[in-house]
Chains A and B, each alone.
Chain A
Amino acid sequence: MSTTTLRMQETSAEHAARTRRFWLVMALGALSFLLFFLAASSFYYKSPTGMFADLAGWLAAIGAALVNFQGGFLVWLGRLVTAVVNIAPMFSLIFFIGMGYRLWRWVQEEHPRPASANPLFDRHFRGIFSELVVFTALAAFIWWIVGNTVDNLHRLGKPPGFDFLGATAGFGINQVLFLEYAETSSYGKAILVGLINTIVLSLAGIVLATVLGFIIGIMRLSSNWVIARIAEAYVEFFRNVPLLLQIFIWYNAVLKPLPGPRQSLVVADAVFINNRGVYSPKPIFTDAWWIVVAAFVIGIVASWFIARWAHRRQMQTGQPFPVLRTALLLIFGLPLLAYGLVSLFAGPPVSFDYPELRGFNYQGGMRIIPEFIAMLMALSIYTAAFIAEIVRAGIQAVPHGQTEAALALGLTRGQKMRLVVVPQALRVIIPPLTSQYLNLTKNSSLAVAIAYPDLVAVGGIVLNQSGRELEIIALWMLIYLSLSLATSAFMNWYNAKMKLVER
């Protein structure tokens, strides 16, 4: 409506100027589209009309890739991506259409009467115009790269695709968890083994780093001068030495000099430590074990209900209930009780397989390879230094008045910590803490330096044996990116939630 009113006041000279501007602007848009089109066509399709030449064929190829489920999910995804790449430049059309619309709106509505006839002096127009330029340049650059890559790959006789993931791996891996992997398994399976190793290492590292980091962080705030200085020295030292060096130190200077299998250090006649790793007895569960597990689950569920009930009661009557103690009792007591009963009536539900020295090495039992230990120690000690600083900052961020108020209300020291300080400190701590977790996960990729078979190390072997650089590197980045993006999504959600609590 406003448009109409404005337009009614427009003189014919203004109208002519606006029309001129309109065409000028549209010509600019068309020109940049043409540039982009030429770039994509010549770099990627190798012919001026290449972009539309075989559109039907490409669409058909996408359709075919969509319904071809052979070779597992990854292969399917790879096939689909490869098929879509052919029409990818066309997605940029959406951008150009959008930009055209914005330009049109700019001429029609937003600035019917700009200060100057020259649109280049208009802030909005300049914005739109620079976006056009940047996008066109960038898109051309990207298509130049993609075109080169595709060219190079074709020249090498290796059109990109993920079908190779189905081929036989043929190499061994020395830490396989939760999966059945043998030399006859596929490349895809090998990569999965690597991914699981990455996840296991990261989770263990996160737990250890958190515990250590909180301890050191609290030590740094200690009123005891000696303790505070020790924590400070820890933080300064481990933060300022490269992680890779720390990994080497653990692996080459601490773990390798351990005695060989025959001179193993023995703990309690059951745990053996040598330069091949740590061996411990492996529990073997009988069928009756499920009773113990069930008791554990029941304990957790019951604790949850009790906690709810206690909360409600306290809200109504003000009477507190020792929830934590009860929960601990239930969660650990019930399974223990179940274990005792089962042992009494059906014999022990779990027995142990002890490692024993047979031939070159200990066989049987559970084993942690030294590469894992080195990675775990280095990662968690390094990350703990950063977490300690985060914890310190978080606790210091709680205003002193809060603790004074808590004490004035007569809360005990423990209650003060639990109900007043920690919840507020956590709000400051958790976002940077999550990003440390993410860093730790990404840093676990340094495992490749010491032969721990993580995603990058195993992927590297596959890359090399199959000669598929592009695909493997894309796979790595895709996996790490999705981990990161998922974490940031969580963080955003958490931050939003915490904001609400504040109100």
Chain B
Amino acid sequence: MKKIVALALGALMTAGVATAANAGTLEDVKKKGHVQCGVSQGLPGFSNPDDKGNWTGLDVDFCRAVAAAVFGDPNKVKFTPLSAKERFTALRSGEVDLLARNTTWTMQRDTELGLNFVGVNYYDGQGFMVRKSLGVTSALQLNGAAVCTNTGTTTELNVADYFRANKMQYEVVAFEKADEVVKAYDEGRCDVYTTDRSGLAAQRLKLKNPDEHVVLPEIISKEPLGPVVRHGDDQWFDIVKWTLFAMINAEELGVTSQNVDEMKKSTNPSIRRLLGVEGKFGENIGLTNDWAYNIIKHVGNYGEVYERNVGPKTPLGLARGLNALWNKGGIMYAPPIR
């Protein structure tokens, strides 16, 4: 009888199984025909599905860029929405090939959790949002407040540190789903909502009356958000890493999705290397030499992606700030392609 059970179990397990050879993530991805990308469950500007399930956002565009680099087609990507709590397990177990989910680069995650951060696609810091009617102007006035936040985040640790360091009392109400946090805050369960400042700007759009809330000036932590892959596959790590760098370099070199075809004729050696006119940079990481051309053509450079998703003209309205290029007053910087 037990054998039947074991067989049934085996059958069950094979029923929904998709095999991906462990030769390497790139091969797997090519065989599957798409990049499986872990994103948030809905954070406007970063990764957000509309009513029909079409995803948009900064992180989503990054996933598309990787698909463009690998396949020359930005649509060969599938998204897996993940809560903060599920994301690392999903990446480690191979459920997703890459995680682009406003995830903070920390040492523990980069080492102990067996992950590799490929870089930073948004420099952020943690902030607080409160109701205007409370009349609070500084985070130091928050003694005794109830604070809503997400479990499984750096946010929940930072807020503990901050209140402890400033000898203030607080009550933390930590939900697993971001939507629950917003709802709880909006309906008055908490006085304060804390998360990355970009997240505050995004989640604010989900409040009943966004204008009744303010973000306090304090930034209590460094939150370098970036895409992540798992340990143990250097080639894939390189591909994802250089996808990000190509987008940043393209902005620096003035290559946009509009002018990328003309730029192919450019005499600037940096541009020629970027677009694969010179050198075999693409082939060296297992792609075609026009990999970066495809990224820029189909998705755009970093600046375009930023403006389109979170920039001042979007509902989020985030100024470039730290995320401006290093030569424009920010710290966004990519190693050269050579």
Contact = CB atoms under 8 A, between A and B. Distances in A.
The reply, when asked whether chain A contacts chain B directly with Cβ atoms under 8 A, is yes
Given A157-B231, A275-B189, A460-B85, A451 B173 contact: yes
Interface in A101-133: 133
A359 B143 contact: yes
Interface string B132-172: 00100000001111100001100011011101100001111
B254 interface: no
B4 to A, nearest CB: 9
B160 A256 contact: no
Given A256-B184, A359-B144, A460 B172 contact: no
A172 B189 contact: no
A361 B134 CA distance: 12
Interface stretch (A55-63, A411-419, A461-469): A461-469
A134 B3 contact: yes
A275 B10 CA distance: 49
A170 B88 CA distance: 19
26 contacts: A133-B3, A137-B3, A141-B6, A141-B10, A152-B93, A157-B231, A170-B160, A171-B156, A171-B157, A171-B174, A172-B170, A172-B172, A174-B172, A183-B160, A256-B188, A275-B187, A275-B188, A275-B189, A276-B146, A363-B144, A450-B180, A460-B85, A460-B152, A461-B151, A465-B157, A467-B89
Interface in A440-480: 448-451, 457, 460-461, 463-465, 467, 469
Interface of B: 1-3, 6, 9-10, 84-85, 88-89, 92-93, 112-114, 134, 142-146, 151-152, 156-157, 159-161, 163-164, 169-176, 180, 183-184, 187-189, 191, 230-232
B145 A360 contact: yes
A275 B85 CA distance: 27
A360 B172 CA distance: 14
Interface in A335-389: 358-361, 363, 370-371
Contact of A138 (B6, B164, B174): B6
B6 A137 contact: yes
A400 interface: no
A72 B230 CA distance: 33
A156 interface: yes
A489 B62 CA distance: 56
A156 B115 CA distance: 9
B330 to A, nearest CB: 31
B36 to A, nearest CB: 18
Interface in A133-160: 133-135, 137-138, 141, 152, 155-158
Interface residues on A, range: 35 or more
Contacts of A460: 85, 151-152, 176
Interface string A63-101: 000000000000000000000000000000000000000
B114 A158 contact: yes
A156 B114 contact: yes
A175 to B, nearest CB: 9
A359 B145 contact: yes
B93 A465 contact: no
B173 A257 contact: no
B191 A360 contact: yes
A174 B156 CA distance: 12
Contacts of B156: 171-172, 461
A435 interface: no
Interface in A171-191: 171-174, 183
B107 to A, nearest CB: 13
A257 B187 contact: yes
B144 A361 contact: yes
A252 interface: yes
B85 A252 contact: no
A161 interface: no
